[in-house]
């Protein structure tokens, strides 16, 4: 909710109206004060003018009284004093009136009054004795008295004549002053009314302002409460970052729950993340925050490079346990008039969705693996598959037995590695031959681990933990393959006989071997982009006792031929060879037992190349290599760790294979030899003694 715009406008209007009304009030009051002062003066002037109206008659009366007294030779001193007082009073009050009024009437009255002065002054200035007492004449006017009498008489006449006009002028003045007072009173009334009206309007404005302010405050309070409720209830953590990358004073309650702290006010963003993320992530996050302040930063683009989109943190729970949580930080820039004002940060706990996605991915992978496994298993003969599973499980039991041998020293641990490798390599070879890649890949990963362990300077039990886990995984996988194979087998058995075809009518182990080799040859050709044909003969004559060993031997030889021997079609063509290579396997009886011949028409073995590879692998020194003849160079291929292949792949490059082949042949009392013609062929000949089980060989 946003009140600020409307509120501000309303406040400005209220303040404006209030100020105008206050000014009006002040104007009214000042004008009223002036008017009242003027009225006060008018009233005083009116009173004076009214009082003055009686004075002309008073003067006439007092002069008459003075004349009478002079004529009767009575005491005139008091009458003269009264006259003098009246004249002085008249004079003083005329002057006072002159201060208030400058009207024509007053000017005329003033002028007339001034004419009184030459007449009245000789009278009131008289200070001598008016009478002279004598015995004969009694009391008579003194010469000064006579002059004084004449002055009084003249003044009496003058005042009698001018009394009425002066009175009329003073009355006119009074009327004028009265009119002015009345006008003033009316103006004051109007002013007072305006003042009262302005006061009422001001009171109304104040009431309205109070009302609207109260309403605004209530709305603001409600808005604050709503904001507080939102911040308390929302599941995401919200806060604002200022330009110093510090958290503001308001944040949602969820933040406390997410980070297990509540001291966010003024906390630096870096400080918040410091203990939760690795230093590299923290540095990237801080760079990102700085970028957000840039004017040119494009918000959508910034969103796409957010380094805190899914952040794994570990927090300590109330019970002291450390718990992994996944947080999602979102940043939104809050723009102000001068650019970016704040950055609004929202933090969501996406742990459950991340875990759900992981579970989903795992189950998806499991489902894919199941499908792959099923597709991988479907094309294999059930008997052959079961035989493979049995021998593999036996092999893995042997692996486990090697692991179980107690070990405490580096030497004891290291001793296990060769044995483990041989067993695993053999399993991988068989799995690969059957094109059971899910098993082959797992075994290959185990081989990788063993190879890695060989390189470590010091070995301990801890180093073997991942190996045991992988072994467990492989066993679990084999169990799944067995379950699937059993189900497929049941399915096949329940299907009509004709649908099954004649696949089960083979010749046991040797038929199975032939099929295995053909299948392996097809896969190898495909994987290594080679073209070759495999022809086999006499495998049915292999005594049963020799089958497992010769199977491993032939698998290894076939892999070597596919990887090292047979050239790519274009190379063959360039060497005037057929595009498609030939690999021949022949097993036959010999004078003193049996003979297995394996031959390919590939690149053959180059003694110099073999020597160089052996030097590179540090199997022999350059000097030793230089001293070797062709025969000794050829024998290098049977040395442990030898391989001309630099890259390790599923099929070659580990430097194991031919040494294992040779050891297996020796183990059953045989011999192995190799002949080659560079560019033409490589031929291995394995001689085996007559077996006790010769008679049991499948015909």
Q: Which residue's CB is nearer to other proteins, number 337 or number 406? A: 406
Q: Using N-to-C axis directions, what is the helix angle for 55-71 and 77-100, rounded to 10°?
A: 160
Contacts of 29 (CB under 8 A, 6+ apart): 195
Q: Which residue's CB is nearer to other proteins, number 368 or number 649? A: 368
Q: Does 466 bind other proteins (CB under 8 A)?
A: yes
- φ/ψ (deg, to 5) at 679: 85, -10
* Beta carbon of residue 355, minimum distance to other proteins (angstroms, whole number): 10
Q: Residues 525, 526, 528, 530: what is their CA dihedral angle, to the nearest 10 degrees?
A: 50
Q: Does 322 bind other proteins (CB under 8 A)?
A: yes
- Spatial separation of the C-alpha atoms in residues 387 and 584, rounded to whole Å: 25
Per CB under 8 A, the list member of 134, 249, 300, 462 interacting with other proteins is 462
Q: Does 631 bind other proteins (CB under 8 A)?
A: no
Q: Which residue's CB is nearer to other proteins, number 229 or number 405? A: 405
Contacts of 236 (CB under 8 A, 6+ apart): 252, 254, 346, 347, 348
Of 22-30, 430-438, 461-469, 632-640, the window that binds other proteins (rule: CB under 8 A) is 461-469
Per CB under 8 A, the list member of 12, 469, 574, 627 interacting with other proteins is 469
* Beta carbon of residue 427, minimum distance to other proteins (angstroms, whole number): 16
Using CB under 8 A, which residues numbered 380 to 419 contact other proteins?
397, 400, 403-408, 412-413, 416
Q: Does 684 bind other proteins (CB under 8 A)?
A: no
Q: Which residue's CB is nearer to other proteins, number 259 or number 594? A: 259
* Beta carbon of residue 329, minimum distance to other proteins (angstroms, whole number): 22
Per CB under 8 A, the list member of 26, 211, 465, 571 interacting with other proteins is 465
Q: Which residue's CB is nearer to other proteins, number 158 or number 413? A: 413
Question: Within 10 A of 133 (CB to CB), how many other CB atoms are there?
Answer: 11
Q: Is 44 exposed, middle or buried (0-12, 13-18, 19+ CB in 10 A)?
A: middle
Using CB under 8 A, which residues numbered 335 to 354 contact other proteins?
none
Handedness of CA 267, 269, 275, 279 (dihedral sign): negative
DSSP 575-591: TT--SSEEEEEEEEEET
Using CB under 8 A, which residues numbered 288 to 317 contact other proteins?
317
Q: Which residue's CB is nearer to other proteins, number 416 or number 422? A: 416
Of 66-74, 189-197, 368-376, 459-467, the window that binds other proteins (rule: CB under 8 A) is 459-467
- Spatial separation of the C-alpha atoms in residues 86 and 89, rounded to whole Å: 5
Per CB under 8 A, the list member of 365, 472, 522, 624 interacting with other proteins is 472
Retrieve residue 80's tokens: 């003269």
Q: Does 44 bind other proteins (CB under 8 A)?
A: no
- Name the 3-class secondary structure at 239: strand
- Spatial separation of the C-alpha atoms in residues 636 and 652, rounded to whole Å: 16
Per CB under 8 A, the list member of 127, 319, 352, 497 interacting with other proteins is 319
* Beta carbon of residue 470, minimum distance to other proteins (angstroms, whole number): 10
Q: Residues 280, 285, 290, 293: what is their CA dihedral angle, to the nearest 10 degrees?
A: 170
* Beta carbon of residue 262, minimum distance to other proteins (angstroms, whole number): 21
Q: Is 50 exposed, middle or buried (0-12, 13-18, 19+ CB in 10 A)?
A: middle
Using CB under 8 A, which residues numbered 523 to 562 contact other proteins?
none
Per the CB < 8 A criterion, the answer to whether 144 and 126 are in contact is yes
Per CB under 8 A, the list member of 279, 320, 336, 337 interacting with other proteins is 320
Intra-chain end-to-end CA distance of the chain, in Å? 94
Q: Which residue's CB is nearer to other proteins, number 233 or number 397? A: 397
Binding site for other proteins (CB under 8 A): 317, 319-324, 397, 400, 403-408, 412-413, 416, 460-462, 464-466, 468-469, 471-473, 475-476
């Amino acid at each position: 909710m946003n009140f600020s715009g409307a509120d501000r406008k309303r406040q400005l209007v209220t303040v404006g109206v209030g100020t105008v009304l206050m000014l009006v009030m002040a104007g009214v009051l000042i004008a009223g004060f002036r008017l009242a002062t003027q009225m006060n003066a008018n009233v005083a002037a009116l009173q004076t003018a009214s009082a003055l109206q009686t004075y002309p008659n008073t003067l006439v009366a007092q002069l008459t009284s003075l004349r009478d007294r002079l004529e009767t030779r009575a005491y005139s001193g008091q009458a003269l004093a009264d006259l003098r007082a009246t004249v002085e009073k008249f004079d003083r009050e005329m002057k006072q009136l002159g201060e208030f009024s400058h009207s024509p009437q007053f000017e005329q009255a003033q002028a007339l009054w001034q004419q009184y002065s030459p007449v009245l002054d000789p009278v009131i200035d008289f200070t001598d004795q008016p009478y002279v007492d004598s015995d004969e004449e009694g009391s008579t006017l003194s010469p000064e008295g006579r002059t004084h009498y004449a002055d009084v008489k003249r003044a009496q006449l003058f005042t009698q004549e001018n009394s009425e006009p002066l009175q009329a002028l003073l009355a006119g003045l009074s009327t004028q002053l009265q009119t002015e007072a009345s006008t003033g009173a009316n103006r004051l009334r109007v002013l007072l009314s305006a003042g009262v009206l302005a006061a009422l309007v001001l009171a109304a404005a104040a009431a309205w302002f109070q009302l609207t302010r109260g309403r605004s405050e209530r709305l603001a309070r409600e808005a604050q409460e709503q904001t507080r409720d939102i911040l308390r209830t929302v599941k995401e953590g919200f806060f604002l970052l200022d330009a110093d990358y510090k958290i503001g004073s308001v944040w949602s309650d969820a933040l406390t729950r997410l980070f297990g702290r509540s001291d966010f006010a003024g906390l630096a963003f870096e400080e918040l993340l410091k203990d939760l993320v690795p230093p590299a992530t923290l540095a990237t996050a801080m760079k990102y925050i700085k970028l957000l302040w840039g004017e040119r930063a494009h918000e959508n683009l910034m969103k796409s490079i957010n380094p805190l989109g899914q952040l794994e943190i570990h927090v300590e729970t109330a019970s002291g346990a450390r718990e992994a949580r996944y947080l999602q930080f979102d940043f939104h820039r809050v723009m102000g008039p001068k650019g970016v004002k704040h950055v609004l940060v929202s933090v969501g706990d996406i742990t459950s969705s991340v875990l759900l996605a992981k579970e989903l991915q795992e189950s998806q992978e499991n489902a894919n693996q199941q499908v792959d496994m099923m597709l991988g298993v479907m094309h294999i003969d059930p008997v052959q598959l079961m035989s493979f599973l049995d021998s593999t499980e036996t092999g893995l039991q042997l692996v486990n037995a090697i692991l179980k041998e107690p070990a405490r020293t580096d030497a004891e641990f290291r001793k296990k590695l060769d044995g483990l490798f041989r067993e695993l390599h053999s399993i991988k070879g068989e799995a690969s031959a059957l094109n059971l890649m899910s098993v082959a890949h797992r075994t290959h990963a185990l081989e990788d681990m063993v190879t890695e362990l060989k390189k470590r300077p010091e070995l301990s039990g801890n180093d073997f933990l991942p190996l045991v886990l992988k072994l467990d995984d492989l066993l679990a996988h084999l169990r799944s393959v067995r379950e699937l194979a059993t189900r497929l087998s049941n399915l096949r058995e329940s299907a009509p006989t004709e649908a099954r075809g004649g696949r089960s009518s083979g010749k046991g182990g040797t038929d199975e071997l032939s099929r295995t080799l053909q299948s392996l040859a097809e896969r190898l050709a495909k994987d290594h982009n080679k073209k070759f044909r495999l022809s086999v003969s006499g495998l049915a004559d292999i005594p049963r006792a020799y089958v497992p060993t010769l199977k491993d031997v032939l698998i290894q030889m076939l892999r070597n031929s596919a990887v090292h021997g047979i050239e790519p079609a274009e190379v063959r063509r360039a060497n005037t060879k057929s595009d498609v290579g030939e690999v021949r396997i022949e097993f036959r009886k010999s004078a003193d037992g049996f003979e297995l011949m394996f031959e390919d028409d590939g690149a053959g073995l180059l003694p110099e190349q073999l020597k160089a590879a052996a030097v590179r692998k540090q199997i022999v020194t350059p000097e030793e290599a230089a001293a070797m003849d062709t025969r000794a160079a050829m024998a290098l291929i049977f040395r442990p760790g030898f391989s001309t292949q630099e890259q390790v792949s599923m099929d070659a490059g580990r430097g194991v294979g031919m040494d294992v082949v040779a050891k297996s042949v020796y183990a059953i009392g045989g011999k192995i030899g190799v002949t080659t013609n560079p560019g033409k062929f490589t031929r291995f000949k394995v001689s085996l003694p007559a077996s006790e089980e010769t008679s049991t060989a499948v015909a």
